[in-house]
Amino acid sequence: MTERPLITAVGGKEPEVDRAAFAAPTSVVVGEVTMGPGSSVWYHAVLRADCGPIVLGADSNIQDNCTVHVDPGFPVTIGERVSVGHNAVLHGCTVEDDVLVGMGATVLNGAHLGAGSLVAAQALVPQGMRVPPGSLVAGVPAKVRRQLTDEEREGIKVNAALYRDLARAHREAHAAGA
C-alpha cells in the first residue's frame, strides 16, 4: 500500500487542493489551505491552517520539512512561482510572486516579501519587516543587502519551473504505484 499525504479538515475548514497540485506522501495539509495549480508540498512539510487561511499560488513549492503556519489575524499568502527551501518556516506572512526563500530561513508574522526577492539560507525575517521587490535579504535579523540582478531573478523562475516539473513526475509516479 502506498503512503498518502494527510489532507484533512480542521474546525470545519477543508483544504482545497487543485487537481494539478502535488502533496507528497508524508506531507500534512490541514485546515483552510488552498493549493493552486502546479503547486507542490514536499515530503514531511506541514501546512497548518487551523486559525486562519494559507494560500499557495500556482507553480509554487514548499520543499521538504518546511512548516507553514498562521496566527489569528496573520494569514499566509504565497504568490505564484515561489520556492520555499528545505526546512524553512513561514509564519503569518505574505510572499509575493517569484520569490525564493532559502533553506532554513524563517519569516515571521506580518512580514511581507516583495516580488522577485530572495531570502538567504538561515536568514530570520523579523515580524513586520517589509522587503522591497527584487531585494536580497540575509542575516539574523535579516537586512536588505542589495538588489538582485536580472540573472538572479530569472534563476528564481527557473527553480520554480523545475519544481513544477518534478511535482508532476512525482504525482504520476505515486499515482502509478497506488
Region 168-173: mean pLDDT is 91
Query: What would the pLDDT profile of 90-108 be if each residue is shown by its tens digit?
Result: 999 999 999 999 999 999 9
Residue 18: band (very low, low, confident or very high) from pLDDT cuts 50, 70, 90: very high
Extents of the domains making up the chain: 6-177
> In the chain, at which residue ranges do the beta strands (DSSP E only) sit?
6-8, 16-17, 22-23, 28-35, 40-41, 46-56, 61-62, 67-69, 76-78, 83-84, 89-91, 94-95, 100-101, 106-107, 112-113, 118-119, 124-125, 130-131, 135-138, 143-147
Query: What would the pLDDT profile of 52-82 be if each residue is shown by its tens digit?
Result: 999 999 999 999 999 999 999 999 999 999 9
Query: What would the pLDDT profile of 128-146 be if each residue is shown by its tens digit?
Result: 999 999 999 999 999 999 9
Q: Residue 123 pLDDT more than 70? A: yes
CB 90 within 8 A of CB 75: no
Residue 175: band (very low, low, confident or very high) from pLDDT cuts 50, 70, 90: confident
Residue 5: band (very low, low, confident or very high) from pLDDT cuts 50, 70, 90: confident
Residue 1: band (very low, low, confident or very high) from pLDDT cuts 50, 70, 90: very low
CATH superfamily, domain 6-177, is Hexapeptide repeat proteins (2.160.10.10)
